[in-house]
Amino acid sequence: DAGVIQSPRHEVTEMGQEVTLRCKPISGHNSLFWYRQTMMRGLELLIYFNNNVPIDDSGMPEDRFSAKMPNASFSTLKIQPSEPRDSAVYFCASMVVNTGELFFGEGSRLTVL
């Protein structure tokens, strides 16, 4: 099993540019989560989906952030326009709904200059 796959692993961009992070959950998992981690704020939940439907996006910082899950095997997190304060490691995780056993990807480290 390949696990949760995230891309890119590292992204360096300039302020104002659009950033798209991608995630492929584990096959058969029907819940998908996007988290953001910084030294100051720790691990924060941004949004999660059940069966491709967004359930709670209250953690999304502002309108510059958007997430989609067009099918069970793919999700994107988009930041447009990006700002330096968006610099963080973004984790995608998936699980079988109701189990509480999250499987995390290796993360996408974003640096916005």
Partner 1 sequence: DAKTTQPTSMDCAEGRAANLPCNHSTISGNEYVYWYRQIHSQGPQYIIHGLKNNETNEMASLIITEDRKSSTLILPHATLRDTAVYYCIVRVADSGYSTLTFGKGTMLLVSP
Which residues lie across from 10 on neighbouring strands?
A: 109
CB of 14 to partner 1, least distance (A): 24
> Should residue 25 be labelled a site residue for partner 1 when binding is judged by CB under 8 A?
no
> Should residue 105 be labelled a site residue for partner 1 when binding is judged by CB under 8 A?
yes
Whole-Å CA distances, 65 to 46, 47, 68: 9, 10, 10
Q: Which is nearer to partner 1, 93 or 112 (CB)?
A: 93
How many C-alpha atoms does 42 have within 13 Å on its Cβ side?
2
> Should residue 104 be labelled a site residue for partner 1 when binding is judged by CB under 8 A?
yes
DSSP 22-61: EEEPPTT--EEEEEEEETTTEEEEEEEEETTEEEE-TT--
Q: Which is nearer to partner 1, 81 or 103 (CB)?
A: 103
Judged by CB under 8 A, the chain residues 55 through 94 that form the site for partner 1 are: 55-56, 91, 93
Q: Which is nearer to partner 1, 12 or 43 (CB)?
A: 43
Cα–Cα dist 52/75, whole Å: 9
Number of residues lying near partner 1 (CB under 8 A): 23
Binding site for partner 1 (CB under 8 A): 4, 31, 33, 35, 42-43, 45, 48, 50, 55-56, 91, 93, 97-98, 100-107
